[in-house]
Amino acid sequence: MERRDSQESTTLTKREFLRGFASVSGLSAVMAALDAWDMSIASAATAPPVLDGRADGTRVLILGAGIAGLTTAYELTERGYDCRIIEARSFAGGRCQTARNGFRLEEVGGESQECEFDEGQWFNTAAWRIPAHHKSLFHYCREFGIPMQTLISSNESTYLRYENIEGPLVGRRVRRREVMMDMRGYTSELLAKLAHQGALDGELTADDREQLIEYLVAEGYLDPIDLAYRGTTERGWAVDFAGPLEPGQPSEALALRELLQSGLGNTFRAVSSFERPYTMLQPVGGMDRIAAAFEERVGHLVTYNAEVRELRQNGQEVQVHYRDVPSGDLVTATGDYCVTTIPLAIMRDIPNDLSDRCKAAIGAATPSQVGKLALQMNRRFWEEDDAIFGGSSQTDLSGGSVIYPSHGFLGRKGIVQGYYVFGDTSDTVGAMGLAQRTERGLANGEKLHPGQFRSHYDGKSISVDWQRVPHSLGGWESWSDEARREHFPVLLEPQGRVYFAGAYLSYLTGWQAGAIESAWYQVERLHANAASV
């Protein structure tokens, strides 16, 4: 008790300190303090920095119209900066993309795809869910009036079907709820019996022991007399009741030995993780609604179809040389400062006069390998036949998850994610054509929904392999612990008149909130330097 009270007091003191520190020293100082404490910057970054004064007419070139670039432009223009965004794509949002009818997807060395989903159907090809603690992102969702809806990340009604395991559960489809309930029941039984037999008396008082057993009886649905778990109707029914004359048939618990042999109990945790809770949020209509809201406000500042070819600077200005894609012409843009949000996998191949130390930092991050497949179904059989609304079912094929939509409930059609692959598996699948990728997803889904998955696929799919997507070459950037210690601080520092921003410069790598908070950090630093000139 004393230790817990001490920790709570320390945490409160830090919060009070940060509030006062922010009012005096600004957001960047708060970030530095959080870094020193090894805390996530998301814990403090809830609103953009409050900046004194204006910098009317100061020219800033922003490379990339992803979330970090859009955030930078929005905040700086509010303070009088003359911003220009140079974007290689024909649209804003970077990797914040949603595939809907007419959306085109290109891959390096791959076939061109055009989404043919029915009107009203959509799929988020990259960013797809938002945890409740990403307050920096919600700041703009509130300010721009972006409506949100619940995304069901995990659902106990979904299925598990594993083949590369041992025991009677090989190839057997079971509900996630059945596994979760039975594992909790058996572990509760074992712990309750140990406590009752006095095996934990060295750790517990008599009152503690009784309280623990009472909890375990309720948690594990145990018989209060002999503390045994024999199953429960809460795990589901073998035959549903269908009226007063058909009371239904309770399901039987899986044997503990079967569960331990199969390893299926290792597929879940009793409590959802902080970063990926069971319920999350998403914008109504697709994740690109966030980028679209930014674009409404700063889209007039964007030069689209402009591929950066060179970045140079001197003591007075920055020069960005880019290729106008439609005409092929080389164009030069100049500014007093530059904020580059270009993915590091792209930035490392752009000629520049940055320091060797900075170039080494650019090359130290590792782009992630990740791929997705979306399939349009002509009937929402997972809802109608299996009572599954959101969440994901899982096979033991690498990346073999089937993810169900958390929107359009009770509609006629829907988009199901046929796989979500990473690393070497993503590289292998990414080398396939769309037809082969689609077949992989259908074969995987058929294991979970036999006789349904193929028959209800209506022939419309789209797949993305992010390490092959031009202007991205990866889903996000990751750092090893050593690289983060050595190179992360370099990119946080101004490189002359050039600043770096992006989710890779946060502890929320791969999340939109990380891109926003990184932009806030650099906006404050740039403004401090511009104001001192």
In sign, the C-alpha dihedral spanning 389, 390, 395, 396 is negative
Would you say residue 40 has pLDDT above 50?
Answer: no
Tokens standing for residue 498: 């050039």
SS (H, E, C) 17-38: HHHHHHHHHCHHHHHHHHHHCC
Neighbours of 425 (CB within 10 A): 18
Strand partners, 279: 152
Strand partners, 61: 84, 338
CATH T-level assignment (fold) for domain 23-90+304-361+479-532: FAD/NAD(P)-binding domain (3.50.50)
Strand partners, 159: 175
CATH architecture of structural domain 98-154+278-286+369-468: Alpha-Beta Complex (3.90)
Task: Please determine whether the domains at 23-90+304-361+479-532 and 159-267 fall in the same fold group of CATH.
Answer: no
Segment 198-219 shows an average pLDDT of: 96
- Percent of the chain at pLDDT exceeding 90: 83
How do the domains of the chain map onto residue ranges? Answer: 23-90+304-361+479-532, 98-154+278-286+369-468, 159-267
Segment 465-487 shows an average pLDDT of: 95
Q: What angle do CA 120, 467, 346 make, to 5 degrees?
A: 110
Mean pLDDT, the chain, whole residue set: 91
Please give the helix or strand (H or E) that residue 249 lies within, else none.
Answer: strand 249-250
How does pLDDT run across 169-188, given as a tens digit for each residue?
Answer: 999 999 999 999 999 999 99
Classify residue 232 by burial, with Cβ atoms within 10 Å: 0-12, 13-18, 19+. Answer: middle
Would you say residue 254 has pLDDT above 70?
Answer: yes
Q: What angle do CA 22, 24, 29 make, to 5 degrees?
A: 50
Segment 137-166 shows an average pLDDT of: 96
Structure confidence at residue 3 as a pLDDT band (50, 70, 90)? very low
CATH T-level assignment (fold) for domain 159-267: de novo design (two linked rop proteins) (1.20.1440)
Per DSSP, helices labelled H in 108-149 are: 135-144
How does pLDDT run across 369-384, given as a tens digit for each residue?
Answer: 999 999 999 999 999 9
Contacts of 340 (CB under 8 A, 6+ apart): 62, 63, 64, 311, 347, 498, 499, 500, 501
- Confidence at residue 44, expressed as pLDDT on a 0 to 100 scale: 55
Distance CA 22, CA 362 (A): 30
